[in-house]
Amino acid sequence: MSERKYKFSWELLGDIALGRPNLGTNTSLEVYRLMQFTFRDIMEQHLGTAKTDQIFYEAGKLAGTEFYKKIFVNVKDFNEFVEGLQKTLRELGIGILRIEEADMEKGSYILTVSEDLDCSGLPELGYEICTYDEGFISGLLESFTGSEFKVKEVDCWCTGDRTCRFTAEKIN
Amino acid sequence: MKGIPGSLHRSQKMTSQQEHDIVDALSKFLLDTMMFANPPQIPERFAAVESLQALHAYLLTLRDFLNAASNGDLSRQVSCKGYLAGTLKTLQANLRHITWQTKMIAAGDFSHRIEFMGEFSRSFNAMVTQLDQTLKELVRKETKLSQANDELLNEISVRKQTEAALLDREETLRRLAIMDSLTGLYNRGHFNKTADAEISRAIRYALPLSVIMFDIDFFKRINDTFGHTAGDMVLQMVANTTKQMVRANDLAARYGGEEFVILLPETQMKEAVAVAERLRKRIEDTVVEKDETPIRVTASFGVSDYRGGEDVKSREKSLSEFVNNADQALYVSKNAGRNRVTVYEQEVPLQ
């Protein structure tokens, strides 16, 4: 692609406070999910399920990478990283992050997100839905460690679980 | 439900009693599965019912998970889905997160707090807060103790320095009290004190003891001709020469003005005369340079040995006599033309 129209930048999100003096900076979660699930629907029709999932993963990864750049400055260790991330995700209403296991040497992590923005309260679908979260977490971990990660959701509200559980493994 | 093997067929209508018996059998089987340590197999008559197989497998999975968790093993995977399994997974996630948080706290990060386990969370958080405060208090006390220790060490160091300075000053004062500042030889007072002790030792152990007295010839003329600085230089030359010539246990002192005395313990008169003669010759041969002007001096010597008695009275007067005898011999040398050594002979001083 020679010329990009939609290359991401935080400026693209605009000055929300200025633009919404009456409605404010927040909207309903229903609207957020409406947009996400309609995207899925149309993308799947045009591109197929696998490609749709891939796009959501990569979009999540880009978000995680940009989020890290915006939020974190000179993080000195994993604890500080987790603490900052937990606080930010909670404040922004994205979810409640918890670490179950963290092996820094092996680059192996198990973490959970409760009250997840994307899936909490969804009907049981029999498959994990938080592909965007997978990418988001991989973008954060890659930005923090400098290594590439494969993140997989193993438990999800949509599979009847009350919290989303992700495994993250360093792949290089 | 695909079918129940046994005596019933689909086409046959079950009686209420038969339905009751089947439900009763199934309920008993499911209760046993949950109640007993060794769960029963699916009864043969229901073995082909797929939903019952799924339910049975589900219950076994939950049993295994709960059993492992009750024994502290939180790593067991719950493969089944659904509300009950999900609830247990949430509990597992909470406990695993607490485990991780506890590890972090053990590593010294006291910022962790639990917020999802009710009263346990409150108690745990109170414990962490207390632990954090206690450790901080310990660190504060340790720091305070360390500071007090540093201050004490500093105080000890200052005291030691002060003590060393006092000792140094005391030594300086002691030396000043017994030394002649111009020549670096002992002074008259110290000579008298030491000579007394040496006389006592000579009496006690029947040891020989000699004394040499000498005086720089025409010293006033040196002062008048070359100045007092030159006079001081001559005195220092004579003192340095004397120091070089005497033994470690000899006592050389400036007796007054240009007059010097040397006490020679365990030395016979004959040996003392030899020392006096060598010293006289060395002084005669040494030239003092003052503003490129050579100054030569000589000295006159008197030598005597100790001849006191053993009674206290004679010891009291022995020191003055001992020195006076050498002094008399010195004056004989002066009268005889200077730059010579005279030995004191009892009753009759000889040249």
Is the reported ipTM for this assembly greater than 0.90? no
**Nearby residues of A131 by Cβ (< 8 Å), 6 or more positions away:** A53, A56, A57, A60, A153
Q: CB neighbours (10 Å) of residue B232?
A: 13
- The pLDDT-based confidence of B89 (bands split at 50, 70, 90) is confident
Q: Which of B337, B307, B311 is nearest to B325 (CA)?
A: B307
B36 lies within 8 A of chain A by CB: no
CA distance B336 to B351: 7
The answer to whether residue B301 scores a pLDDT higher than 90 is yes
Separation of first and last alpha carbons in chain B: 152
CA distance A147 to A62: 15
Phi, psi of B293 (to 5 degrees): -105, 120
Half-sphere exposure of B150 (CA within 13 A, CB side): 6
Cα–Cα separations (whole angstroms), residue A100 to A135, A162, B24, B256, B301: 19, 15, 43, 97, 104
CA distance A150 to B126: 38
The answer to whether residue B349 scores a pLDDT higher than 80 is no
The answer to whether the beta carbons of residues B64 and B77 sit under 8 Å apart is no
Q: Could you give the percent of chain A with pLDDT greater than 70?
A: 99
Q: Could A162 and B90 be called an inter-chain contact, meaning their C-beta atoms sit closer than 8 Å?
A: yes
Structure tokens at A147: 């290594």
CA distance A126 to A131: 14
The pLDDT, as a whole number, for residue B76 is 87
Residue of B115, B155, B198, B258 marked active site: B258
Residues in chain A closer than 8 A to B101 (CB atoms) = 99
Tell me the per-residue pLDDT of B179-208, one tens digit each, with 9 for 90 and over.
Answer: 999 999 999 999 988 888 888 888 888 889
Structure tokens at A38: 């309609």
Q: What is the DSSP secondary structure assignment for residue B316, as one 8-state letter?
A: H
The answer to whether residue B164 scores a pLDDT higher than 50 is yes
Q: What amino acid occupies position B220?
A: K
Q: What amino acid occupies position B194?
A: T
**B347 classed as catalytic:** no
CA distance A79 to chain B (A): 8
- When pLDDT is averaged across residues B129-149 and rounded to a whole number, the result is 93
Q: What is the mean pLDDT of chain A?
A: 91
Residues in chain B closer than 8 A to A160 (CB atoms) = 81-83, 85-86
CA distance B189 to B178: 7
Tell me the per-residue pLDDT of B107-136, one tens digit each, with 9 for 90 and over.
Answer: 888 888 888 888 888 999 999 999 999 999
Q: Which residues pair with A99 in a beta bridge?
A: A111
The answer to whether the beta carbons of residues B195 and B264 sit under 8 Å apart is no
Structure tokens at B109: 């990060």
User: Mutation test of the interface with chain B: which of A77, A155, A156, choosing the one with the most B Cβ atoms within 10 A?
Assistant: A155
The pLDDT, as a whole number, for residue B165 is 94
Task: Tell me whether residue B163 is exposed, middle or buried, using C-beta atoms within 10 angstroms of its C-beta: 0 to 12, 13 to 18, 19 or more.
Answer: exposed
CA distance B110 to B316: 87
Taking the CA atoms of chain B, what radius of gyration do you get in angstroms?
Answer: 57
Separation of first and last alpha carbons in chain A: 28
Cα dihedral B124/B126/B132/B137 (nearest 10): -150
For the sheet containing A96-103, what is the strand order?
A: A96-103, A108-114, A164-170, A149-155
- Of B123 and B322, which is predicted with more confidence? B123
Which residue in this structure is represented by tokens 């246990």? B249
Q: Which residues pair with A35 in a beta bridge?
A: none
**Nearby residues of A3 by Cβ (< 8 Å), 6 or more positions away:** none
Q: What is the DSSP secondary structure assignment for residue B262, as one 8-state letter?
A: E
CA distance B192 to B251: 10
CA distance A167 to chain B (A): 13
Q: Could A160 and B111 be called an inter-chain contact, meaning their C-beta atoms sit closer than 8 Å?
A: no
Tell me the per-residue pLDDT of B328-341, one tens digit each, with 9 for 90 and over.
Answer: 999 999 999 999 99
**Nearby residues of B62 by Cβ (< 8 Å), 6 or more positions away:** B78, B80, B84, B85, B88
Structure tokens at A61: 């990864």
Distance of CA B202 to the CA centre of its chain: 47
B81 lies within 8 A of chain A by CB: yes
> Of B81, B83, B93, which has the smallest distance from its Cβ to A165's Cβ?
B93
The answer to whether residue B3 scores a pLDDT higher than 70 is no
The answer to whether residue B284 scores a pLDDT higher than 80 is yes
CA distance B163 to B77: 75
CA distance A134 to chain B (A): 18
Helix (H) or strand (E) segment spanning residue A109: strand A108-114
Strand pairing report for B209-216 and B299-305: antiparallel
Q: What is the mean pLDDT of chain B?
A: 88
- The pLDDT-based confidence of B5 (bands split at 50, 70, 90) is very low
CA distance B242 to B250: 11
- The pLDDT-based confidence of A43 (bands split at 50, 70, 90) is very high
